[in-house]
Amino acid sequence: MVDAASFKGRDIISMREFNREEIDLILSTATDMISLVDKGSDLLRGKILATLFFEPSTRTRLSFESSMHRLGGSVVGFAQPQTSSVAKGETLADTIKTVESYSDVIAMRHPSEDSSIVAAEAASIPVINGGSGSWEHPTQACLDLHTILTAKGTIDGLTIALVGDLLYGRTVHSLAVALRNYDVKAYFVSPDQLKMRDGVIADVKGKLDYEETSDLNSILPELDILYATRVQKERFKDHADYEKVKDAYLINKAFLEGAKPELRVMHPLPRITEIATDVDGTPHALYFGQVKHGIYTRMALIALVLGAL
């Protein structure tokens, strides 16, 4: 049976590990957390989160730290590898075997795809993957689901487009895998050079109703959720190819006139130019509202793996 107790001591490495029942529990726990943000909570008083960020991040690191503080806990950690023993040549496993003596739970971002697996294996305390190379970003997927659920009241039945860099974008990898647990229609919208990573296709095939396309315009009218990501110019060998596709996915107010009024636009942020600021004031814009769901979701995940619920 899936209940809060079943999460105690568990690592959060990949959305591949969670079934629908488990995701439902995470999301309902996240909803329970909302009222604690304003009231404050002592649920995790005396507990320590270690945030090990081997790659720069404002959003994810601060979101984890804030979530821990909202539950009354404390935080230690580092924001960049130069300040750590990694600079002296220590292995990741050794760093983890050290840090586990300083904390009760670890949140880690690392450029290597297998980093969180290595860390979870080395650690005797729970490890939460805060982004592992291009592979996965499972807490982002949880917050994305919670955002959609809160905005729409349901996830089942929606039509959702993941747009942009689907080859290297870890947020869309985790979200696509998560969506295989729902009865949704998914579009994977990208330039041909940045089609959805093979490993994700393999994991969703037969479980998720998806379609790959490079044409956002023609599917726009169907969409309930447009999840935009940054198309990374530096991935393109031919500059002309880049110029051709980037305009296709430049989302602005005029472009969204072809969408349903209920369409909501999401983005893991930071955005650069892929969503114009003239969208910010429209009812379509959900990307800033999305951020606070990171707090609710991470509060839930930290509390769950610490067995505090």
Q: Name the minimum Å distance from CB 57 to its own copies.
A: 7
Q: Which of 151, 248, 250, 269 binds its own copies (CB under 8 A)?
A: 269
Q: Name the minimum Å distance from CB 35 to its own copies.
A: 12
130 counts as binding its own copies under rule CB under 8 A: no
69 counts as binding its own copies under rule CB under 8 A: yes
Beta strands in 146-208 (DSSP E): 159-163, 185-189
Which residue do the tokens 């305009």 mark? 247
76 counts as binding its own copies under rule CB under 8 A: yes
Instruction: Choose the binding region for its own copies from 78-86, 129-137, 170-178, 213-221 (rule: CB under 8 A).
Output: 78-86
User: Which x/- pattern over 201-240 shows residues binding its own copies (rule: CB under 8 A)?
Assistant: ----------------------------------------
Q: Judging by DSSP bridges, how do beta strands 209-213 and 185-189 pair with one another?
A: parallel
Of 7-66, binders to its own copies (CB under 8 A) are: 39-41, 45-48, 50, 53, 56-59, 62-63, 65-66
The answer to whether the CB of 66 falls within 8 A of the CB of 295 is yes
Which positions ≥6 away from 34 have C-beta within 8 Å?
296
The answer to whether the CB of 200 falls within 8 A of the CB of 177 is yes
- Token couple for 122: 């080395």
Report how far Cα 172 is from the mean position of its chain's Cα atoms. Answer: 8
Closest CA to 302 of 67, 19, 34: 67
Instruction: Choose the binding region for its own copies from 69-77, 129-137, 158-166, 215-223 (rule: CB under 8 A).
Output: 69-77
Measure the N-to-C terminal CA separation of the chain; round to a whole number of Å.
Answer: 16
Contacting residues toward its own copies, per CB under 8 A: 39-41, 45-48, 50, 53, 56-59, 62-63, 65-66, 69-70, 72, 74-80, 82-90, 94-95, 97-99, 101-103, 269-272, 288, 291-292, 294-295
